[in-house]
Amino acid sequence: MTEYGSPQPPSRDLCATMLVHRQLLNESMTYRSRRAAIENRALQYERGRRASLRTEVVTLPVVVHVVYNPKTPELNIGDAQIHSQIEVLNKDFRATNSDVGNVPAVWKPLVADIKVEFQLATLDPNGEPTDGIIRVPTDQLSFSWDNGVKASATGGSDPWPSDQYLNMWVCQLGGSLLGYAQFPGGPPQTDGVVILHSAFGTTGTAAAPFDGGRTATHEIGHWLDLYHIWGDDDGACTSDDKVADTPNQADSNTGVPTFPRITCDNGPHGDMFMNYMDYTDDAAMFMFTQGQATRMNACLEGTRASLLVGQVMRMPAPAAATSPAAAVAAVPAQQQPAHNGEVERLLHDSERLTNEILTDIRSALGLVTGDTGK
Ligand SMILES: [Zn+2]
């Protein structure tokens, strides 16, 4: 299957991210050129021609949109289920998950701390205090991968600015779909991840075998520019995930495979089916690799750099602040010189990176003939 082929139903539609991706490639020249630029940047990181600037852990603000039909009240999931999901993300993206020790010895050196944490937003887009959870009743019985859940006009919930927040929609999804994400470079009004309520978090309506919170880990992997580990070539072994340290593997794995599982002549160790970007059960996936970390860094310091600036601007107030308004004012205030410096540095980095992205896009469009290829 070519990248520009018509959208086709996957053999097991656990995740619809590639359907969204292929549809955007077909419909949008802007998306194609942005994806080319983003891919070019990721390649430069992968080949060591650009190094990550980031050494500190970043915390990304999250807004969770719970979209539920009141006839099925359990779809209005509780706060505890949402918090349980954030906890899983904060372990998986820091490689502090309790099952990371199950990674086969041969791949233990590849296990990566992504240095990304997640926090329910404490300030809304207007600077007002929030718990980062929006609850929206709907007449819809379920949603599909058509982005309907992302707009109030179609019975969903409108996103918060996607350059400042990670939007996560939790709802009923049709068929066997667990979730879908939009890769970086797509339209801002549909940017974010969608998760089936029963594959979200570890309590409440979360149901086995997808009650480990790993669907969100997988979808946020896509949101940070990771492809499926088998390369979405339906068993052909001709395409991979554009990450060098993950083995080429034929197709998705499901359930709980036994190590080693060999495909595409990838012996003796076989498929890395315990990677978050496969389709295995939540209990059978527990790692990102160093190569995947590099690719996510290229994205975080490129297309999604605005979130790094945003997280500093939204740091919690110092103890002295007594009101949310004071909290907002306190961040750039003089008692926070470290924050000031950090904001300035990030703004500077963001401006520089934006210029680089624009250069990448012009380069991808063939508008620049000089100093390309750096
Ligand atoms: Zn996926």
* pLDDT higher than threshold 50 for residue 62: yes
One DSSP character per residue, 167-181 reads: EEEEE-BSTT--EEE
Distance, CA of 199 to CA of 171 (rounded, Å): 10
Least confident of 35-44, 110-119, 219-228, 349-358: 349-358
Question: How many residues belong to the chain?
Answer: 374
Q: What is the pLDDT of residue 229?
A: 97
Number of CB atoms found within 10 A of residue 90's CB:
17
Q: Which residue has the higher pLDDT, 280 or 327?
A: 280
Q: How far apart are the first and last CA of the chain?
A: 30
Closest CA to 182 of 174, 194, 172, 170: 194
Q: What is the pLDDT confidence band of residue 257, given thresholds at 50, 70 and 90? A: very high
* pLDDT higher than threshold 70 for residue 314: no
Least confident of 177-181, 201-205, 340-344, 367-371: 367-371
Active site residues: 219
Residue 127 neighbours by CB under 8 Å, 6+ apart? 324, 325, 328
Closest CA to 92 of 128, 118, 70: 118
Closest CA to 371 of 351, 356, 354, 353: 356
Closest CA to 225 of 37, 4, 91: 37
* pLDDT higher than threshold 80 for residue 13: no
Distance, CA of 119 to CA of 96 (rounded, Å): 17
> Residue 200 Cα, ligand 1 centroid: separation in angstroms?
15
* Domain extent listing, the chain: 17-299
Pairing of strands 193-196, 179-181: antiparallel
CATH code for residues 17-299:
3.40.390.10
> Residue 223 Cα, ligand 1 centroid: separation in angstroms?
10
Q: What is the pLDDT of residue 67?
A: 98
Closest CA to 18 of 283, 323, 333, 231: 231
* pLDDT higher than threshold 70 for residue 327: no
**Partners of residue 64 on adjacent β-strands:** 133, 168
pLDDT 10s digits, 288-313: 999 999 999 999 999 999 998 765 55
**Partners of residue 137 on adjacent β-strands:** 68
> Residue 327 Cα, ligand 1 centroid: separation in angstroms?
38
Tell me the HSE value of 312 on the side-chain side, using a 13 A CA sphere.
20
Q: What is the pLDDT of residue 1?
A: 35
> Residue 186 Cα, ligand 1 centroid: separation in angstroms?
16
pLDDT 10s digits, 145-169: 999 999 999 999 999 999 999 999 9
Q: What is the pLDDT of residue 249?
A: 95
